[in-house]
Each structure stands twice: as C-alpha cells, then as structure tokens.
A and B are shown apart, each in its own frame.
Chain A
C-alpha cells in the first residue's frame, strides 16, 4: 500500500523529496515522477504510471474485431487514425486479405496526416512547456484545420473509428484533395516559422542542446522506436523496413540525427512533418476511383447504403455484426505480431485467434510504454527544469501508456 510518509522517511537526509504530477500542466496527461533532489539537481527518480489504465486488452477479448477498432481510438488520442489503420492491418494480415488499392492510398494519406497532427502538437506543446507560447498557437491552428478534414472524412474529430477489417467505413468526401493540399501549403509555412524561431534561438537551445542524451546502445536495449530512435542514429522506420500500404511506391527520406539529445528529437519531428507533407502530395496523385472494401461479404462489412437497401447486404451485415459463434469473422487458429509506424514509433498488435469471432488475446505494443522507462536513466544529474524539456521531447501519451 502506498504511503507518502514511508517514502519521506526512506530518503537520504541531504536530499529533498519532490513530486511532479499526476496532474501537472507539463506532465501531458496523468504521468507522475517522484524525485529526490539535492538543490536543483536530480539525484534519483521513479516514474509511476497506471492512472489511466482502462483494461483495453481485457475488454478486447470480449469484443469482436470490428468493435475493437473503437477502442484503438483511445490509445494515442492525438493520432487515432494511425491506431485504426494499425489494428485493421493486423487483422487483415491475420485473415490473409489485401484491401483494394484505393483503400490503401486513402489509409496512407490519413496515416501521414495524423502523423502531422500528432507531431505538430508535440512540437508546439514542448516549446510551450519551455516558455514559448506563440508556437503552440501556430501548430494548433494547423492541427485544427487537419481535424476539420478528419471530421469531413470520418464524421468525428477525435474518436474517428474510420477503418474496418478489410476496408474503410466510407469513402472520402468530394473536396478532400483540394482541402488537404491547401493545408499542406500552410503547414509548410508553419514549419518554416518554427525553424526560424527556434533553431538559432539561444534561450531555447540552452534548454535542449546536449540535454537528455540517449546513446545507440540504450535505444537498442530499451527497444525505443520512432523519432526517439532515429534522433539517436538508429535508422529504423517500419515504412522502409517492411513497406506496407503504398509506401514502396512513394519517394521519401527518413531523417536521422546522431546526437540523441532533446534538440535532435525536436528537429526530428519537424523534419518528419516535412517528409509527411511530401508523402501526402505524392499519395494524392495515386488516388484513383475504385472500390474501398475487400470484396468478400463473409468477412467485410457491406457499406451502409446497400445495408439499408438490398436484402443480401442486410443479411451479411447481420451475420457479421450479431454476437455468437455462428456470426462474425473467424480467423484461423494462430497468433501473429503485426506492426506499423505510428507517430511515436512502432505500434504493434499481437493477436491470438481461437477461431471464434472475438480475439483470444489482443496485445497492444504501444510505443509510449516502451519509450517511457528510459526517463529515470536520463534524469539523474539533470536540473529539475530539464525534466520538462526531456519529457516534452518524448511525447508520451497516457492513453497508450496505460491502456
């Protein structure tokens, strides 16, 4: 049982016990860090998590594959579309189906748009934590425009639930391409503004340069992925490692830095947004008319209009949606680990199927949970204020940290 008095008694008599979070403006959700400080220096830290534990993995064992997509929205709630796509791809790999090309292109575009939305919030919030307020307003404006597009596409801003096993919920709206291209142009201007404001800004550089350095060995041993790994010189990106969707047809670079400090992680995200803009522009050119769902009505939900209008689709809808052993999708008896490159790193789903319509086990490998433990290795020797800078560059999202 936790007791504050016990912790205070146990500390070294020359140090002071200090507690940050779980509800602190710079802790990005419900993270808590217990610190022992000597003056302004951190001696020892311990992180406590679990404040947002919702039991997604247990709940997943009682929900059908399509129902679980709704839960993936709540993992990394700054880029719900990436999670939707990651889970749908895992299910499709389990079933051994490949979705039509138009669906793959749409998914690629939306994955990159949500990467831009996620990174822009991280970049803005990190600089806001360090005292620069304008930047979060700039990035929030762009993020709002992107969320308007998400709303037009999926019907909701935050809990998108857009993908289905074997396709998408519905097709894109008519003016999608024009709107996205307009946002990409203004996003580039915002990125330039961010570069101009911070890359040579002494106040900012003093707070982040050489702070929280992660070595290559640490990246491998801790299993860090995504921008945190690439900022330390590990050239690992799942979009290149094993290209899924249409990434193999698109020319893009994976930015890599070698320093591994907080500044590299900041620059990394800005560079990745620039690359994502290029990917979106190329992928929009690949967008051609065609079906969006895998043409097998025993496994893919029919689209809503035909469900309401013709008898056969209604029967298929009923057979897929109703609970029970005779209904739903029945994957083969096997287990499979499938992963995609989410904004924070490798988002993996380890699915175990027992042949019934609900998964036997859904393991979510959230990037935040694997990326977070290294914090207590980096902090000893740092100033208290460095905690804010380092944590901001990690972009830990409590939703997928605690699940």
Chain B
C-alpha cells in the first residue's frame, strides 16, 4: 500500500536542489506536496531526474495541465505555466513541476517519451492553450473540433462571442428560411 510519508520531503528537496542548482526558480510547500518552479527548457530534465534517480523514483504519472497567468495580479516569470504532478510509490510523496513558458514562443519539450500518460494531457494543453510540445508524436486537437480556430482556455479568449454563434446563418424558427427573408 502506498502511504503518505511527509518526512521524505526533506530528502526530495535536497536532491532536487543539488540537481537543478540555479536553474530552480523557486519552490513552494503546498498542503501535501512540494512544487518546484523551473523554466520550460529545463522541465524535462527535472522530470526525467525525478523519475530515474533511484533514491526518488517518481514513476507514477498523475497529471499534466497548464495555467495562463496573463491577468494574474502577482507577477510571474512568464505568461504560461505547464504543471506536471508526479507521485513516488517508493517515498510516498508527490512532487509538482511548474514550468514557465514564454508568451511569444510557447514551446516546451514533450514528456511523451518519459510518461505515456503525457500524450493525451499534452494534446489537451495544446488544444486549449496553444502550447506546442516539441517531440510529441501526434499533436492534434483532442476536445475541440479539428477545424477550430483559437485556443479557448487562454485568458484573452472571451467566454462568449468571437467565432461562436456569429458565424452561423440565422434561420426563422417556423419558415426555415434565412431570417432576413422571413
């Protein structure tokens, strides 16, 4: 049975700080896991280290998602953050890697060759945020239709309006003719 062992967090922090050095932008203690902040280019190395280092063994993929910090009140290193959550069955703790991705160049190395579960989650992030995952085998839209324009979870994409109803012709309810004729 995998049980939560909070005392192992100290070993995790020491290992990650020794590995990442000044590449680590910061770390934060959350309710039951630790979050490490890095630049997008360094994220894959850190995730690979967390998985392959024998004393850590973060082999359980939990989640991969993204956040758009465009209108966030606190300044962040970059606009987008790709957040990967992992679990170590050996240590009984979780770790989260938050990788910041620039607005002008939203690209980040893909984790698909490390975790199979990253395939669909990265496709989802590409679909909804437009962050490109370099080396992904099939980076296509997953939730939105293939011919959809835009990335709807970005903060500058409105809740309603552009590209939604306005593009469809309006028909009269009973005559079934275009609205202007009826």
A contact residues vs B (CB 8 Å cutoff): 1-2, 49-50, 53, 55, 57-59, 61-62, 93, 218, 220-223, 225, 234-237, 240-242, 254, 333, 335-338, 346, 348, 350, 352, 354-355, 360-361, 363, 365, 369-370, 372-374, 377, 402-403
Q: Which of B31, B65, B143 contacts A53 (CB 8 A)?
A: B143
Within the complex, what minimum Cβ distance (angstroms) separates A71 from chain B?
14
B contact residues vs A (CB 8 Å cutoff): 1-4, 30-33, 35, 59-63, 65, 67-68, 71-74, 83, 85, 87, 89, 92, 96, 115-117, 119-121, 124, 128, 141-147, 152-153, 157, 159
Are A236 and B31 in contact, with the CB atoms below 8 A? no
Q: Which of B71, B85, B142, B157 contacts A337 (CB 8 A)?
A: B85
Chain B residues, Cβ within 8 Å of A61:
159
Within the complex, what minimum Cβ distance (angstroms) separates B13 from chain A?
18
Are B63 and A337 in contact, with the CB atoms below 8 A? yes
In the complex, what residue of chain A is closest to B35 when comparing beta carbons? A335
Are B3 and A240 in contact, with the CB atoms below 8 A? yes
Interface centre among B4, B63, B89 (most CB of A within 10 A): B63
User: With contacts A93-B31, A337-B96 known, is A365 near B3, CB below 8 A?
Assistant: no
Binding site secondary structure of chain B: loop
In the complex, what residue of chain A is closest to B33 when comparing beta carbons? A337
Within the complex, what minimum Cβ distance (angstroms) separates B72 from chain A?
6
In the complex, what residue of chain B is closest to A54 when comparing beta carbons? B143
Chain A residues, Cβ within 8 Å of B74:
333
Within the complex, what minimum Cβ distance (angstroms) separates B80 from chain A?
11
Interface centre among A49, A237, A242 (most CB of B within 10 A): A242
Q: Which of B83, B120, B152 contacts A369 (CB 8 A)?
A: B120
27 CB contacts below 8 A, A to B, read A50-B144, A50-B145, A59-B159, A62-B159, A221-B61, A221-B117, A222-B61, A222-B116, A234-B89, A235-B2, A237-B1, A241-B4, A242-B4, A333-B74, A337-B63, A346-B62, A350-B83, A352-B72, A355-B73, A360-B67, A360-B72, A365-B65, A369-B121, A370-B63, A370-B120, A373-B119, A377-B116
**In the assembly, what is the distance between CA of A106 and CA of B60, in Å?**
32
Within the complex, what minimum Cβ distance (angstroms) separates B126 from chain A?
13
Chain B residues, Cβ within 8 Å of A240:
1-3
In the complex, what residue of chain B is closest to A350 when comparing beta carbons? B65
Q: Which of A53, A234, A354, A370 contacts B73 (CB 8 A)?
A: A354
**In the assembly, what is the distance between CA of A111 and CA of B142, in Å?**
31
Are A223 and B115 in contact, with the CB atoms below 8 A? yes
Q: A337-B85, A350-B65 are in contact. List 10 more A-B contacts (CB 8 A).
A: A61-B159, A62-B159, A221-B115, A240-B1, A242-B32, A254-B1, A337-B30, A355-B73, A365-B62, A370-B120
